[in-house]
């Protein structure tokens, strides 16, 4: 470079860079996770955004309350609905929650093009996906666990046998974890495809319900054709049933659908499928976010 005549000078006016401690990636991840989780319940956002999640939480919890009260009043031996069956019975509100909140978590960032803001920090794309996935899974876990805990508390107060109840609620919670992961994966993957929130909601709920209805129809077809085993496998199409099947096999409980997974092989297949669904949807999410522009 040739010597340029000095036409202008940048003055040192004492602008100071931040030289203090920086908290690093872990802190970033935890912050994004926490903020997304709170956002899934509308905390930290406008009043209106709290209505839906808390309404759904109430819809999930009230039947548990009623069941517990009924059990106490009628002095029953056991709960009318098993812990492991609860999430399948209330699949609809859970599905609506995923459909409503998955777009709230990811579509807004895409629509208002703030991804470059996220990505220009030490937060990588994969970290973003991890944080969002973790947040929605946790939000769903809370949604399903709260009623289970209420049911458990009610059962204990109704003086139902301690160990059976405790075992039951732990099994239910294990199922809740699996369902939360599966639905979070599917929901986020579909929602991340569109920046339009309304369409994202419609797409997620359509897919979830479609899988549920198709599974029920095919199972029915198989059963009337005396193909019990096939019916069992076909149940895996429905994500709710898939997780339920794993519970049936692991914990030896009653299936919530027309046919559970047939035998040990069925149980193993269901478990592997569950892990595969979570893994594949997470992987596809990572791929999808690789294509998001960072500028």
Partner 1 sequence: MNATIARLTWRSLLGRRRAVLLMVLPAILLILAVMFRVFQGADADNAAFLLGIFGVPFLIPLLGLIAGTGSIGPEIDDGSIVYVLAKPLSRYKIVVTKLVVAIVVMIAFGVLPILAAGYVLANGTSKVAIGYAAGSFAAGITYCALFLLLAVMTRNAVVTGLLYVLVWESAVGTFVPGAQALSIQQWGMAITEKIIGAPAEDLRATSPVGLTTAVVLLIVLFVGTTAYAGYRLRSIRLTSDE
Identity of the residue, 123 or 215, whose beta carbon is nearer to partner 1 in the bound complex: 215
Identity of the residue, 134 or 147, whose beta carbon is nearer to partner 1 in the bound complex: 147
The string of DSSP codes covering 171-188 is: HHHHHHHHHHHHHHHHHH
Q: How far is the CB of 228 from partner 1 (least distance, A)?
A: 15
Tell me the two tokens of residue 93.
């509100």
239 touches 208 (CB < 8 A): yes
Q: How far is the CB of 58 from partner 1 (least distance, A)?
A: 11
Q: How far is the CB of 205 from partner 1 (least distance, A)?
A: 6
275-280 — which CB contacts under 8 Å span 24+ positions? 277/182, 277/185, 277/186, 277/239, 277/242, 278/181, 278/182, 278/185, 280/185
Identity of the residue, 214 or 272, whose beta carbon is nearer to partner 1 in the bound complex: 214
Identity of the residue, 146 or 216, whose beta carbon is nearer to partner 1 in the bound complex: 216
Q: How far is the CB of 196 from partner 1 (least distance, A)?
A: 6
Distances (CA, A) of 293 to 29, 129, 187: 20, 15, 22
Distances (CA, A) of 90 to 69, 83, 142, 180: 18, 12, 14, 13
Identity of the residue, 122 or 198, whose beta carbon is nearer to partner 1 in the bound complex: 198
The string of DSSP codes covering 248-293 is: HHHH----SSS----HHHHHHHHHHHHHHHHHHHHHHHHHHHHTS-
Positions touching partner 1 (CB under 8 A) are 48, 52, 55, 59, 92-93, 95-96, 99-100, 108, 112, 193-194, 196-199, 201-203, 205-206, 209-210, 213-214, 216-218, 220-221, 224-225
Cβ atoms within 10 A of the Cβ of 279, count?
12
Identity of the residue, 170 or 193, whose beta carbon is nearer to partner 1 in the bound complex: 193
Q: How far is the CB of 102 from partner 1 (least distance, A)?
A: 12
3-state secondary structure of 17: coil
Q: How far is the CB of 165 from partner 1 (least distance, A)?
A: 25
């Amino acid at each position: 470079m040739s010597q340029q005549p000095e036409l202008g000078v940048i003055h040192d006016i004492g602008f100071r860079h931040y030289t203090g401690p920086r908290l690093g990636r872990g802190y970033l991840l935890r912050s994004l996770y926490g903020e997304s989780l709170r956002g899934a319940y509308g905390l930290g956002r406008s009043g209106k955004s709290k209505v839906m999640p808390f309404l759904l939480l109430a819809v999930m919890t009230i039947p548990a309350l009623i069941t517990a009260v009924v059990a106490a009043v009628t002095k029953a031996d056991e709960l009318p609905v098993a812990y492991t069956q609860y999430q399948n019975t209330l699949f609809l509100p859970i599905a609506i929650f995923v459909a409503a909140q998955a777009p709230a978590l990811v579509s807004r960032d895409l629509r208002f093009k703030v991804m470059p803001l996220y990505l220009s920090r030490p937060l990588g794309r994969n970290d973003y996906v991890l944080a969002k996935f973790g947040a929605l899974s946790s939000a769903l876990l809370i949604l399903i666990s709260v009623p289970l805990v209420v049911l458990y508390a009610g059962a204990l107060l109704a003086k139902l046998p301690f160990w059976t109840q405790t075992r039951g609620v732990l099994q239910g919670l294990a199922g809740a974890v699996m369902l939360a992961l599966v639905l979070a994966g599917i929901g986020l993957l579909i929602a991340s495809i569109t920046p339009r929130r309304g369409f994202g909601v419609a797409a997620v709920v359509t897919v979830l319900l479609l899988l549920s209805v198709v599974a029920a129809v095919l199972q029915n077809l198989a059963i009337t054709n005396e193909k019990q085993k096939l019916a069992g496998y076909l149940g895996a199409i429905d994500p709710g049933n898939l997780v339920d099947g794993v519970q049936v096999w692991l914990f030896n409980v009653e299936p919530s659908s027309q046919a559970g997974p047939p035998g040990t092989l069925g149980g193993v297949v269901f478990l592997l499928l569950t892990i595969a669904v979570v893994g594949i949807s997470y992987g596809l999410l990572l791929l999808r976010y690789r294509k998001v522009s960072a500028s």
